[in-house]
Amino acid sequence: MAASRRANGNTESVDNYLKAILYLGGPEEDRVTIKALAERLSVAPASVTNMLQKLAVSPVPLVQYERHRGVQLSASGRRRALEVLRHHRLIETFLYEVLDYPIDEVHEEAERLEHFISERFEERIAAKLGHPKTDPHGNSIPTLEGEMPEEQRSARESILLADVVESGTFTIESVSDRNPRNLLLIEACGIAPGARLRVRKAPSQKGYSVSVGRSPKVFEISRKVAQNVRIVRLSE
């Protein structure tokens, strides 16, 4: 990934745009609308358009942008986005596993650090952690070569807890790191990547009744919190 480091003199803002496009485009690298990007980044649509136009005509274009058709990452933009995402998720893992940061604090700290660490520091963190495949939230860590692990691109389908329409048993794949308060609520229920989750009754307007692992304790999860938990149904 060394060749892409600081292409075009990337700023933190540019990196955040690239990460957002990577996230919104998904595994299929779909085109991303200005509206969706503006909402993700909490900026005005006009500001998004202005930034994308600059990124599209820079000496090493980072995006492919067409008016009314949205935006995709260029090959260089995707490499940089995956590089920054690797930094972010390695830093989160280091903060959580080595420095004992609370789970609700690692995201914001990693957001501040991800743009600036050196290749040597990145390599030392990865080695110290035993070259982890996922971060504390269950999200796959891009490889040093700038690829997502095969398991994330497999045919296995995951859904949001908020999309469940009937009771059943699931494995928790990942939890969102974007809302610290929701993370605390999720952690208090014992919901963590790899755990087994039982949706004990069909969802109501209020949310879901769930239990974790073999525990008989039932927790009530609101639909808002359920939007932050990604799960895979198990065969009954």
Which run of H or of E encompasses 187? Answer: helix 180-188
- How many Å apart are CA 91 and CA 84, to the nearest integer? 11
pLDDT tens digits, one per residue of 106-138: 999 999 999 999 999 999 999 999 999 999 999
Question: What value does the mean pLDDT take over residues 23-38?
Answer: 93
- How many Å apart are CA 205 and CA 75, to the nearest integer? 43
- The DSSP code for 59 is S
Question: What value does the mean pLDDT take over residues 58-84?
Answer: 94
- Residue limits of CATH 1.10.10.10 in the chain: 1-153
Architecture of domain 1-153: Orthogonal Bundle (1.10)
pLDDT of residue 58 exceeding 50: yes
Which run of H or of E encompasses 226? Answer: helix 223-226
pTM for this predicted structure: 0.86
pLDDT of residue 235 exceeding 90: no
pLDDT tens digits, one per residue of 10-23: 589 999 999 999 99
Assigned fold of 159-233: SH3 type barrels. (2.30.30)
pLDDT of amino acid 5: 44
Token digits of residue 45:
């649509």
pLDDT of residue 218 exceeding 80: yes
pLDDT of residue 7 exceeding 70: no
- Residue limits of CATH 2.30.30.90 in the chain: 159-233
Residue 166 near residue 200 (C-beta atoms within 8 A): no
Inter-axis angle of helices 12-25 and 45-56, nearest 10? 100
- How many Å apart are CA 52 and CA 46, to the nearest integer? 10
pLDDT of residue 201 exceeding 80: no
pLDDT of residue 25 exceeding 80: yes
